[in-house]
């Protein structure tokens, strides 16, 4: 069921958005050559405890997951792009790291992700991150009352298509509210003026993710981490966005 939020409820969602943004900012600052992925998860877990928030991931067990996730954030490195299960891995110079984090504050959820390069960057990785960020911004720009879901999806897909990237539609954005994943689904490819009408009070996570040279995924042995089928690297960006009469509000905006 698709739920619409009142202006008062959207205001109540702001603390969760700010907290998720603060955690991602702290993780971005912490990520460096020599840092273990488990250290990043530990930092996020500490911030959750200190804030009195709740993790959306640690007990998460959807049908596609091998078991309850068990960690509080996703850390996807290089050819991994989604659902990366934090494990005993020390970040290396040149790694492309995507971090996805969702938490609940006062019963309201926000969800956001970013990609970054650890140490020395490869120009092609920087370009991929920029394309993904541009796609996110294009999608958010279409998140206005009177448009349809296809307008968001088409804007995201157009950025990737111009860049020569293939687009996987198995995973995309989603509704956000009292739970992390709700209706509607927000694909990263679509046709303009098609799909669910965008209405005031709709809150969604918009999350483009792309791989360098493929749209095919394989599941890692941990039962969670999704990697490119050809070993190419991936990037992921995400914000929780409220659609209002005055335009989109990015609840997870980072300073």
100 is in an annotated binding site: yes
How far lies 221's CA from each of 64, 66, 85, 224, 227, in Å? 13, 10, 11, 8, 11
pLDDT for 64 beyond 90 = no
Cα distance from N-terminal residue to C-terminal residue, the chain? 33
Query: pLDDT class for 43, splitting at 50, 70, 90?
Result: very high
pLDDT digit string, tens, across residues 197-245? 999 999 999 999 999 999 999 999 999 999 999 999 999 999 999 999 9
CA distance linking residue 92 with residue 77, whole number of Å: 10
236 is in an annotated binding site: no
111 is in an annotated binding site: yes
What was the pLDDT predicted at 120?
Answer: 98
User: What is the full DSSP assignment across 205-239?
Assistant: EE--EEESS---EEE-TTSS-EEETTS--EEE-BE
207 is in an annotated binding site: yes
Both tokens of 207, joined, read 């999350």
CA distance linking residue 77 with residue 86, whole number of Å: 10
Both tokens of 4, joined, read 């619409």
What was the pLDDT predicted at 255?
Answer: 80
Both tokens of 39, joined, read 């250290």
Domains and CATH numbers, the chain: 7-250 (3.90.230.10)
pLDDT digit string, tens, across residues 112-160? 999 999 999 999 999 999 999 999 999 999 999 999 999 999 999 999 9
**Burial letters 48-76, b for 16+ CB under 10 A, else e:** beeeebbbbbeebeeeebeeebbbbbbbb
83 is in an annotated binding site: yes
What was the pLDDT predicted at 62?
Answer: 85
How far lies 99's CA from each of 7, 11, 112, 143, 189, in Å? 30, 26, 9, 24, 22
Residue 150's Cα: distance from chain center in Å? 19
pTM: 0.97
């Amino acid at each position: 069921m698709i739920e619409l939020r009142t202006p008062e409820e959207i205001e109540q969602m702001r603390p969760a958005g700010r907290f998720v943004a603060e955690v991602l900012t702290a993780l971005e600052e912490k990520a460096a050559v020599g840092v273990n992925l488990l250290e990043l998860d530990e930092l996020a877990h500490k911030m959750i405890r200190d804030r009195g928030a709740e993790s959306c991931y640690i007990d998460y067990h959807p049908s596609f997951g091998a078991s309850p996730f068990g960690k509080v954030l996703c850390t996807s490195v290089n050819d991994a792009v989604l659902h990366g299960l934090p494990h005993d891995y020390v970040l290396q110079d040149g790694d492309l790291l995507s971090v996805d984090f969702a938490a609940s504050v006062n019963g309201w959820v926000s969800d956001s992700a970013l990609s970054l390069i650890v140490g020395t960057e490869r120009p092609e990785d920087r370009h991929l991150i920029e394309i993904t960020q541009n796609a996110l911004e294009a999608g958010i720009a279409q998140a206005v009352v009177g448009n349809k879901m296809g307008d968001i999806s088409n804007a995201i897909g157009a950025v990737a298509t111009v860049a020569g990237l293939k687009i996987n539609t198995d995973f995309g954005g989603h509704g956000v509210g009292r739970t992390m994943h709700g209706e509607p689904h927000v694909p990263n490819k679509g046709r303009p003026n098609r799909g669910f009408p965008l209405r005031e009070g709709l809150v969604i996570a918009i999350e483009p993710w792309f791989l360098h040279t493929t749209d095919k995924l394989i599941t890692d042995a941990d039962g969670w981490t999704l990697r490119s089928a050809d070993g190419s690297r991936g990037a992921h960006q995400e914000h929780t966005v409220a659609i209002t009469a005055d335009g989109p509000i990015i609840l997870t905006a980072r300073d």
